[in-house]
Amino acid sequence: MTPDTLRNKSVEELAVLLGTDVREPQLKKLHDLGLPSKKSEAYRYFDIETLLCREYALLDYIPKAIQESDHVEIVDGTVVSAPKGMRIFYEACKHVEMEHFDPLYYLGHLLSPHVITIEIDGDAHVEIVHRFTRSNALINYRISLENQSNRHAIVYERFEDDAVRDTLVLYGYDMRIAPNSTLRVLKTQTLHPENYAMVASHNVHVEREANALLKSFDFGGGLGLQMLRIVLEDHAHVEAGHLLYLNSESRRGTVSQIIHKGEHATSSQEAKNILDGHSRGIFDALIRVDHSAKYSKAHQNSKAVLLDESAYMAAKPQLEIYIDELEASHGSTTGQLDKKQLFYLQSRGISVTEARKMLVIAFANTLIEKVKDSRQQERIKEEFEKAFYTVHKKDAS
Amino acid sequence: MKTVLEIENVHAKIGEKEILKGLNLKLEPGKVHAIMGPNGAGKSTLSKTIVGHYDVTLTGGDIRYKGKSINDMEPEERALEGIFLSFQHPVEIPGVNNAYFLRTALNAKRRHEGKEELNAAEFLRLMKSHLEMLGMKSDMISRSLNEGFSGGEKKRNEILQMLILEPEVIILDEIDSGLDIDALRAVSEGINKMKDGKRSFLVITHYSRILDYIEPDYIHVLKDGRIIKTAGPELVEQLEDKGYESIEEDSAS
């Protein structure tokens, strides 16, 4: 399949091409939004057309018997293992959002009418490993994540691949964060330029008095974009943090919409971007405070450090506010490492590579150190260092 | 005369302005050399030039450490060879843990010398042994490097680094500025502890106060980018009484 063949087609033609009912509302949404191009605002800084013009093999998603394991493993879009007793099953998605800004969110649902539903029990800590093994494939799957009221669960998400080439992964979550609960989702992903590209299109509904903590740690090269739509009900809270360390010709980042719908909702979004080589970081983020969302608090900030003069940061923090009763701020800075700090470290015998690494880690630490689990925190630091040392020669030890 | 560091006819500029104009200086092993001079004479530029600061462009002359030119060495190479600068204004680096920074620096030096690296526990034992002597609180090692430190704490932290890294040539750029009498005494004790008859000190100062604690062997007067006089400690008294204008240039300078 070449996704680009879906471009500029009527609803009827799309229904035929995707093998779906012409009355399917998601089909109309895909048609109305149109397949993304470089002219689409959300994909302006991302080479989406190149990805959509390729020919991919479509995979058959045949549910397998789920083996027992200490973590959830999803291989090429199919669940292969999970912890004992965890409820994981395939079903039609109950909560497709009809106001999502991303056409690939709808394409994802149309290609995967049955989503993987994961019910998180109690205060569980769940690790989800996504593995990709097929080259030249379009791997498409969606996950519906549900937690329980009055519970505090954590999901750690990471990605592995068997050196696949030219694969496009479209996946994403539909999350409903139950009232009075907390759900933390921490994603760590290192991409390599020649491997798979990914568009992750998420929809998060934060119910009354619930807390969502969504952290992404994205390292390396390649093409990857996360499209995030978050809706906040009364007294709901979201804390979103995005750390990018990019190298080579990478194009990665976050395009998001956080919508304050209920009163007294709070949002805090922080992006830290460290850009090496010819990479391009993307932070195109909107916080919208609706008429109904009195007494909201909304704060948004993006900071970028350019380690190479060819690197580029596309930062576009935006606030769209329809009420007076709120507290809001947003800002964006882009700069280089502080020469004085760098020299100070060098003057103590620390090599320029190590000094740069120490300063970029220090820059990133406000996000990394918020990860309470020390094992996970250490793993994130190690993954960052691995990506960093692919570009900068490590000192012999 | 044996020398550990020899600065010969050095010319250096910052931006387009020439600051050092043919400076000559020899540091003897085990001796304390004090550099005094009026504002704008080039004292801090001298220290920056020795450690290879990015602000300074060396336009002429040679700096030799143990007989080898260091003109083309990177700042970290000079540090690994044993040259240490205690900064007049140490920078704050939020997010870089003080202990982690110092262990990284120490292990870089140990690697350079072909020694085993110290693990975290060994390093902490070493660090704690120095903290008490310097009157530093133990929580300073877990804080970010110099972040939120008072002027005195920053200077003590510089001395702590010096004690741990054990350099051979120690340049103290106005180490006494901003210190109260207790801090000055603690810092001086740290410096005196490092005197072993082999290490050389270059103490850059405006005032003679620090020299009451660290007894110098030589006083050099730096004026308009050159050392114009070198004498024994008795010169301090003359400078205190009559100022820099009273100093006549040595014929050999």
Chain A partners of B101 at a C-beta cutoff of 8 Å? 345, 348, 350, 358
Q: For chain B, list residues whose CB is within 8 angstroms of any CB belonging to chain A.
A: 51, 53-54, 74-76, 79-80, 84-85, 87, 90-91, 93-96, 101-102, 104-105, 107-109, 111-112, 117, 144, 161, 165
The pLDDT profile of chain A, 397 residues, written as one tens digit per residue, is 899 999 999 999 999 999 999 889 999 999 999 999 989 989 999 989 999 999 999 987 777 789 999 999 999 999 999 999 899 999 988 889 999 999 999 999 999 989 999 999 999 999 999 999 999 999 999 999 999 999 999 999 999 998 899 999 999 999 999 999 999 999 999 998 888 999 999 999 999 999 999 999 999 999 999 999 999 999 999 999 999 999 999 999 999 999 999 999 999 999 999 999 999 999 999 999 999 999 999 999 999 999 999 999 999 999 999 999 999 999 999 999 999 999 999 999 999 999 999 999 899 888 898 888 899 999 999 999 888 888 887 665 5
pLDDT at position B83: 97
Model confidence at B240: pLDDT above 90: no
**What's the gap in Å between the CA of A302 and the closest CA on chain B?**
18
pLDDT at position B252: 53
pLDDT at position B133: 78
Instruction: Measure CB to CB from residue A344 to each of B91, B112, B144 and give the nearest one.
Output: B91
**What's the gap in Å between the CA of B121 and the closest CA on chain A?**
18
**What's the gap in Å between the CA of A163 and the closest CA on chain B?**
34
The Cα B144–Cα A195 span in angstroms is 38
pLDDT at position B251: 58
SS3 labels along chain A: CCHHHHCCCCHHHHHHHHCCCCCCHHHHHHHHHCCCCCCCHHHCCCCHHHHHCCCCEECCCCCCCCEECCCEEEECCEEEEECCCCEEEEEECCCCCCCCCCHHHHHHHHHCCEEEEEECCCCCEEEEEEEECCCCEEEEEEEEEECCCCCEEEEEEEEEECCCCCCEEEEEEEEEECCCCEEEEEEEEEECCCCCEEEEEEEEEECCCCEEEEEEEEEECCEEEEEEEEEECCCCEEEEEEEEEECCCCEEEEEEEEEECCCCCEEEEEEEEEECCCCEEEEEEEEEECCCCCCEEEEEEEEEEECCCCCEEEEEEEEEECCCCEEEEEEEEEECCCHHHHHHHHCCCCCHHHHHHHHHHHHHHHHHCCCCCHHHHHHHHHHHHHHHHCCCCCCCC
Query: Which of B76, B89, B144 is the best substitution to test chain A (most A C-beta atoms within 10 A)?
Result: B76
Q: How far is CA B174 from CA A97, B30, B90, in A?
A: 65, 20, 11
**What's the gap in Å between the CA of B86 and the closest CA on chain A?**
10
* Long-range CB contacts for residues A351-356, cutoff 8 Å, separation at least 24: A351/A395, A351/B76, A351/B108, A352/B74, A352/B76, A353/A392, A353/A393, A353/A394, A353/A395, A354/A395, A354/B104, A354/B108, A355/B76, A356/A307, A356/A392
Residue A13 phi/psi, 5° resolution? -65, -40
Paired with A206 in beta bridges are A177, A232
pLDDT at position A395: 63
Q: Give the residue extent of every domain in chain A.
A: 3-255+266-285
Lowest mean pLDDT among A20-24, A345-349, B90-94, B182-186: B182-186
Max CA-CA distance within chain B?
Answer: 56
Residue with the bigger pLDDT between B239 and A232: it is A232
The Cα A118–Cα A146 span in angstroms is 6
Instruction: Measure CB to CB from residue A343 to each of B54, B102, B108 and give the nearest one.
Output: B54
Cα angle B156-B159-B161, degrees, rounded to a multiple of 5? 115
Q: Are strands B144-145 and B93-97 parallel, antiparallel or unpaired?
A: antiparallel
Q: Given an 8 Å threshold on Cβ–Cβ distance, is A341 in contact with B53?
A: no
Nearest CA among B82, B81, B87 for reference residue B156: B87
Assigned CATH topology for domain B5-94+167-246:
Rossmann fold (3.40.50)
Per-residue tokens: B63: 């700096």
Contact call for residues B229 and B253 (beta carbons, < 8 A): yes
Which pLDDT tens digit goes with each residue over B148-163? 998 888 988 999 999 9
Per-residue tokens: A307: 């380690």
Lowest mean pLDDT among A211-215, A299-303, B89-93, B246-250: B246-250
Q: Which residues neighbour A213 within 8 Å (Cβ) at sequence distance 6 or greater?
A: A182, A183, A184, A185, A238, A239, A240
Residue with the bigger pLDDT between A246 and B175: it is A246
Model confidence at B1: pLDDT above 80: no
Which pLDDT tens digit goes with each residue over B16-28? 999 999 999 999 9
Q: Given an 8 Å threshold on Cβ–Cβ distance, is B91 in contact with A340?
A: yes
pLDDT at position A396: 57
Max CA-CA distance within chain A?
Answer: 69
Nearest CA among B51, B41, B46 for reference residue B24: B46
- % chain B with pLDDT above 90: 62
Return mean pLDDT, chain B: 90
Q: For chain A, list residues whose CB is within 8 angstroms of any CB belonging to chain B.
A: 338-341, 343-352, 354-355, 358-359, 361-363, 365-366, 395-397
Chain B partners of A396 at a C-beta cutoff of 8 Å? 111
The Cα A103–Cα A35 span in angstroms is 6
Chain A partners of B94 at a C-beta cutoff of 8 Å? 362
pLDDT at position B5: 97
pLDDT at position B208: 80
Chain B partners of A362 at a C-beta cutoff of 8 Å? 93-96, 144
Average pLDDT over residues B138-156: 88
Q: Given an 8 Å threshold on Cβ–Cβ distance, is B108 in contact with A363?
A: no
**What's the gap in Å between the CA of A331 and the closest CA on chain B?**
20
* Long-range CB contacts for residues A87-90, cutoff 8 Å, separation at least 24: A87/A117, A87/A118, A87/A119, A87/A121, A88/A116, A88/A117, A88/A118, A88/A119, A89/A116, A89/A117, A90/A63, A90/A114, A90/A115, A90/A116, A90/A117
Contact call for residues A199 and A228 (beta carbons, < 8 A): no
Where is mean pLDDT largest: A175-179, B140-144, B194-198? A175-179
pLDDT at position B30: 94
pLDDT band at B138 (very low <50, low <70, confident <90, very high): confident
SS3 labels along B130-167: HHHHCCCCHHHHCCEECCCCCHHHHHHHHHHHHHHHCC
What stretches of B186-244 adopt beta strand conformation (E)? 200-205, 218-223, 226-231
Model confidence at B253: pLDDT above 80: no
Chain B partners of A338 at a C-beta cutoff of 8 Å? 91
